[in-house]
Amino acid sequence: MNPFKDKAKYFLEKPILMYIFVYLLINILFLDNFPFIHSDESWLSGLSRNYLESGSPAVTETFFNTYRRFPHGIKIIFHYIQAAFILLMGYSPFTVRLVSLLASCGILYVFYLVNFRKTRDLSFALISTVVLSLDIQYIYASHFARQEILILFLMITSYYIYYRNISSMLKPVLLALLTGLAIGFHPNALFISAITGLLYLYDIFIVKREKISSLAIYVLITGIIAFIFVAISFSFDSNFIYHYMKIGDQFGVLETPSTKLSTLKYFYMKLYYSVSGTYYTPYIKFQFWLFIFSIASALYCIIKNREEHYLAGLLLCIAGINITYVVIGRFNQTSFVFQVPFMWLIYLNLVNRTNIKRIITFATCTLLFYFSIFNIYPYLNNDYEDYIENIAEIVSAEDKVLCNLNAEFYFGNGSLLDYRNLHYLKDNDLNFEEYINSNDIEYIIYPEEMDFIYDHRPVWNGIYGNLYYYYDDMNEFFEENCTLEKEFTSPYGMRIVRYMYRDEWSVKIYKVN
């Protein structure tokens, strides 16, 4: 018996594994091109690199100093996963984005299992998985080095396990472990707990196929794991709760429930019209109308037949996600991907009831493929590589610089200081010149977006804070204490998405005299 031959035969007999492998290879080809590199990615990976270089998770980002940061353990597992990939493959956008892409492969397989379990139709389960893989919002999340896609993997796995025929004692333990594990990726673990909680309540009080003791076990074990992460955070920072709430306040977490609820409407309007600040927001009007139709149809089916528990469960998942938006008050465009698999499950379940399900799914795949190409094609240039090459002509990776955080992948750990620090100069009794000199900054890499933000203040003050307090001092410092070494154009000279590719934006490299 040849074990390698047997494994190859197993692989070939599993079309879903072959498809996911092809999906992985194709996406690797443009992984570091689409979407554009966002400073969130270098922010998160920069902290992961600092874990490695300091040998401890009780650290903060090296690119912030006047912008005070405090260590905590809430995202510790995510950072260690990134750190492992950085250790193995080096520090680059491709490396940290590969983590997200691999997680998306896992989601596709679980999504396939969910569909097959419901339909018992291998070919329909496969084409259903193709549908999800072609969704532009899903592709975007799969290429973005943030935690959403990993949280989604744990979320869809939790959903799959919830409906498996598992003992009433084991199931809540497994679900609690997955939810607790998610806390080590991001506080967005709350989305998973909301979904699981609603499914349990529905099955306890409506369907009457679950026991309240199972929900109690889930809550208890999840709470214990959450307490462990909080305890780790307190070991890093004795004022953890105060500092964490202060950060949350900056993002509207502490707003009143009525304010949060009213913001939900604008959240969806921005998604529909592809309006954003610095995040890439794809064209998803097609999916929007399709999902609205699917939700309306699912509600009609449930009203007509109270035994439609599968559709009811999916609607509860979507409801749980939206309730969590309002509870935490964070309406980040990147979190919309949490709803995408559940929306497609509703749509595909409805399609499966028709006599032309394969024609409809094929047409859906064709349209999704077209819209994805439409969204992806403009970003296939190597703009980021050109951006870094222009910087590298003048500045070495170890030189101390003041620069936009999106260039952090090029620089050594601790070499770059981000522009966000300048917003806190006044709080630290510093002016611009004192900040540059006290930090031994050798080069200032200046994007034209700073001038744009200043000229259009206060509209874009949320990006770097109010530039008014230091803008004139900064330009005076350029004139009197710097030499312009190079000027080039790049989309990375502008982080505001609506303007990024509309005009040519300059990046100036000043050497501090």
Tens-digit pLDDT profile for residues 161-171? 999 988 888 99
Helix 122-134 vs helix 15-29: crossing angle, to nearest 10: 10
Q: What's CA 453's distance to the chain center, in Å?
A: 25
Q: Is it the case that residue 196 has pLDDT exceeding 50?
A: yes
Determine what percent of the chain is predicted with pLDDT higher than 90. Answer: 84
401, β-bridge pairs:
416, 443
Q: Is it the case that residue 4 has pLDDT exceeding 60?
A: no
Across the chain, mean pLDDT equals 93
Question: What does the pLDDT look like over 37-96, one tens digit per residue?
Answer: 999 999 999 999 999 999 999 999 999 999 989 999 999 999 999 999 999 999 999 999
Q: Is it the case that residue 5 has pLDDT exceeding 60?
A: no
Burial of 35 (0-12, 13-18, 19+ CB in 10 A): buried
Q: Is it the case that residue 305 has pLDDT exceeding 70?
A: yes
Contacting residues for 329 by C-beta, under 8 A, at least 6 apart = 248, 251, 252, 253, 254, 255, 259, 260, 263
465-473 mean pLDDT: 92
Q: Is it the case that residue 258 has pLDDT exceeding 90?
A: no
401-427 mean pLDDT: 95
300 pLDDT band, cuts 50/70/90, is very high
The pTM score is: 0.94
Determine what percent of the chain is predicted with pLDDT higher than 70. Answer: 97
100-125 mean pLDDT: 95
17-24 mean pLDDT: 96
149-158 mean pLDDT: 98
Q: How far apart are CA 493 and CA 67, in angstroms?
A: 22
Q: Is it the case that residue 391 has pLDDT exceeding 60?
A: yes
Q: Is it the case that residue 207 has pLDDT exceeding 70?
A: yes
Q: Which amino acid is at 457?
A: R
The pLDDT of residue 12: 45
The pLDDT of residue 263: 87
Q: How far apart are CA 110 and CA 118, in angstroms?
A: 13
Handedness of CA 254, 259, 262, 268 (dihedral sign): negative
Question: What does the pLDDT look like over 341-385, one tens digit per residue?
Answer: 999 999 999 999 999 999 999 999 999 999 999 999 989 887 999
85-110 mean pLDDT: 97
254-270 mean pLDDT: 85
The pLDDT of residue 382: 79
140-167 mean pLDDT: 96
219-225 mean pLDDT: 97
The values of phi and psi at residue 149, to 5°, are -70, -30
The pLDDT of residue 253: 73
Q: CA-based angle 200:179:166, to the nearest 5? A: 50
Is pLDDT larger for residue 255 or for residue 27?
27
Q: Which of 492, 439, 448 is nearest to 65 (CA)?
A: 439
